[in-house]
Amino acid sequence: MELFFREQYLSKIRGFYHDTDIIKVITGVRRCGKSSLMEMIKDELIASDIREECIIYIDLDSRKYRKIKTDDEFEKIVDELSITKETKYLFVDEIQNIKNFEEIINAFRNDGDYSIFITGSNSYLLSGELATKLTGRYVEFELFTLNFNEYLSMKEFYQKPIDNNLNIELDKFLREGGFPRTVRFDTVEEKQVYVKSVIEEIFEKDIKKRVKIRNVEVFEAVRGFVINNYGATMSIQSLQQSLEKVGLSVQRATLKRYIDALVGAKILYKCDRFDMKSKRALSGEKKYYLADTSFYFAFNTDNRINYGPALENMVYLYSRGMNYSVSVGRIGKLECDFILRDTQQNYSYIQVAYTINESKQTEDREYRPLEMIRDNFAKYVVTTDYLLQKRNGINHINILEFIKEGKKF
């Protein structure tokens, strides 16, 4: 099948295609498109006159290579496939399937004639020896599910109907999510069955193998609670108290382990809170956002959209995909939905709401935290409104048009 090229990510990686000293590590939740991205890179290399015998592609989840589990077995198959003395382009999908992969990948890098691309579906990939042994020798590219612009572009690419009303498409996007495969399904039922299967696959392959889950029922209750309350401020203590109210008694250490497992498997993203007065991160309470909003709807029969957390989730993922560091800001007793920091240490401040045009009270609530910030960095009130206003130099933007045009904050 013809691939939908994700230019936003390819443009970040192209400068490293021929670099044999830097390992290119592509991470992201399962099924977000990492394998397809490597296929795209492979196609671009071939199109640039790299000979096919110089390209080695090993998918460790595939039937052909799934029995390769040790570094020795991996080394043997790579050596067998290395049939030229020219620079070779080594692509390895789901590298964490290989025991002690760090040493053998580093050995191939040291050979100097391999440009190496690897993918992994969980944060453990960069939490151990790879990070310590290869400091300065790898670059991570984190891939997210489709953003709203990619979602519309992919629908057009596969000739799926697109409504002229972007708000209708927004509702579909929030419910169906941005897993690339779901775009090609025709019914909501098919899409939700697929998303449920992704979550089960993550549990079996990325959580169960890493974390000792003594009581699966309790783990699923924790997972369900956090997914159902995504975008809400919570701490381990408040989570424990909420579970006790429904008759589940779980130790805090166990809760922390389960939450860390969900974050490690990239089902959840942790967003820390930052006190803007003291310029310090706040311990305890955090917000958690979903790798994809479809996770919420796959586990709930109620299809109504709570636009507050849903739009926050969309803005959070879009910002992360545009290479911003993201935190939640506290200004006295008020909260700024997001503080963004780019690679040049420039900041942007964001408030998110579905609309501010229906009442002066809502407008004031969204502007007030931004008006309390005294620096000169850009400030945004992000809504789905088309009637945009100006107030004290703060930008009021329509997020659908903003993302559709691929803009940066």
Determine how β-strand 114-120 pairs with β-strand 23-27.
parallel
Q: pTM surpassing 0.85?
A: yes
- Look at the block and give the residue holding tokens 């004290």: 392
DSSP state of 291: S
* Averaged pLDDT of the chain: 94
In this predicted structure, the answer to whether residue 110 has a pLDDT above a threshold of 90 is: yes
Whole-number pLDDT of residue 128: 60
The one-letter code for the residue type at 260 is D
Whole-number pLDDT of residue 177: 96
Per-residue pLDDT band at 122 (split at 50, 70, 90)? confident
Per-residue pLDDT band at 275 (split at 50, 70, 90)? confident
Mean pLDDT, rounded, for 386-405 = 96
Neighbours of 303 (CB within 10 A): 10
**Beta bridge pairs of residue 25:** 118, 140
Whole-number pLDDT of residue 327: 97
Whole-number pLDDT of residue 132: 75
Whole-number pLDDT of residue 130: 64
pLDDT, tens digit, 9 for 90 and up, residues 192-203: 999 999 999 999
Angle between helices 71-81 and 101-111 (to 10 degrees): 30
Q: What percent of the chain has pLDDT over 70?
A: 99
DSSP state of 123: G
Q: What is the rounded distance in angstroms from the CA atom of residue 3 to the CA atom of residue 1?
A: 6
Q: What is the rounded distance in angstroms from the CA atom of residue 194 to the CA atom of residue 197?
A: 5
Q: What is the rounded distance in angstroms from the CA atom of residue 70 to the CA atom of residue 99?
A: 5
Q: What is the rounded distance in angstroms from the CA atom of residue 271 to the CA atom of residue 269?
A: 6
Domain ranges of the chain: 7-142, 146-409
Mean pLDDT, rounded, for 38-47 = 97
Whole-number pLDDT of residue 123: 67
Distances (CA, A) of 399 to 294, 324, 383: 19, 16, 6
Q: What percent of the chain has pLDDT over 90?
A: 84
Whole-number pLDDT of residue 129: 59
In this predicted structure, the answer to whether residue 278 has a pLDDT above a threshold of 80 is: no
Q: Given 3.40.50.1470, 3.40.1010.10, 3.40.50.300, 3.40.50.720, which CATH number is that of 7-142?
A: 3.40.50.300
Whole-number pLDDT of residue 332: 87
Whole-number pLDDT of residue 277: 80
Mean pLDDT, rounded, for 110-127 = 85
